[in-house]
Amino acid sequence: MTDMQISLQERKRATQLIRRLTPSAPLYKKYEKAATDFIADFKRAKRDIPANMIEVYSLKMVRSELFKRDYLVAFVSEGWFGQVASHCNAIASPSLSLLDLSSPPLIVIPGKSVPRSRGFSSIVEHEFVHVNQGISGRFPNLNACELKEDVLFEELMNVTQAEFEANFIQLVRDQTLTPDNELGVGLEKWCLIRGYTQGLELTLLRMTTEDFPVAQEKKFLKRLRDDLAEAFASRGLNKEVGQNFADDIEQMSKIAMLNLNQCRPDITRYKNFGTLFKWLFRKEIEEQDRGGPS
């Protein structure tokens, strides 16, 4: 096995992304004030609350090695973090509500300090990318956006782009996380795969657990097949990769549904999930009913 080699062109692209994602001085100053005010307000508000009733250990401004700026970080109990993001090491959020206070964009980390390992530092820098996206008003809103086809399509693309940027920057800096070269997938495509599949899973999760008709779900998947490549191109993402994803929409949707079923065992109680699952796997189910492939 051989590690993926990062090219000079990829390093330049990462540098350009970092430059573009770094907030302007006035915008960062506004963020910094909102963050420090939030820390002060939280300290005052929690004085009257018993310590064992507060899941947040502390709020701090933490330096980003990548962006050379300080960003708001909430250190929280492992129990609380496990309830909201059990499969993550850290998460970024556009806002956190605490004691009737709402924060500016921040990172949430379980524990009382940032672990010192290089691997965790890489994860934190990945999340700082998302904080900067939030500061500039580009934080994806797929979990809470309006449940309409056009809105869901736009937010899926927002997730794809946001995660592509964060993963690309992270993997150029920390090559221990890059896929093995023998997989035959370049860095750009790998980062697009990670971003798009995350967005697709979140979209299917919302559609199948909320009041979104199955007929509209099928129409949405057709929309991805028809429009995804152009949507990639309009955002400066690789159009050819977008077309590959569009051509493979049924298989990628099957994988996303299987992942959701594994990560969310309760999801099978939603009728829409079961209906879409059976429709996507209709050929496999028919073969099984016949006693297997001929």
pLDDT digits (tens, 9 = 90+) for 128-154: 999 999 999 999 989 889 999 999 999
pLDDT digits (tens, 9 = 90+) for 248-257: 999 999 999 9
| pLDDT(52) > 50 | yes
Q: What is the pLDDT of residue 292?
A: 62
Give the CA count within 13 Å in the CB-facing half-sphere of 8. 0
pLDDT digits (tens, 9 = 90+) for 66-115: 999 999 999 999 999 999 888 899 999 999 998 889 999 999 999 999 88
pLDDT band, residue 207 (cuts 50/70/90): very high
Domain residue extents for the chain: 24-135, 141-286
Residue count (the chain): 294
Helix axis angle for 149-173 and 214-234, nearest 10°, is 50
The per-residue b/e assignment along 54-91, b for 16 or more CB within 10 angstroms, e otherwise, is: bebbebbebebebbebbbbbbbbeeeebeeeeeeeebb
| pLDDT(64) > 80 | yes
User: Which of 147, 160, 242, 140 is closest to 200 using CA atoms?
Assistant: 160
Q: What is the pLDDT of residue 1?
A: 41
The 3-state secondary structure of 130-194 reads HHHHHHCCCCCCCCCCCCCHHHHHHHHHHHHHHHHHHHHHHHHHCHHHCCEHHHCCCHHHHHHHH
Helices (H) and strands (E) counted in the chain, each on its own, are 11, 6
Q: What is the pLDDT of residue 178?
A: 64
| pLDDT(289) > 50 | yes
Tokens, residue 275:
């209906």
| pLDDT(182) > 80 | no
**pTM score:** 0.91
Neighbouring-strand partners of residue 76: 56, 110
- Who has greater pLDDT, 60 or 3? 60
| Burial class (CB within 10 angstroms; exposed 0-12, middle 13-18, buried 19+) of 153 | middle
Tokens, residue 243:
């077309």
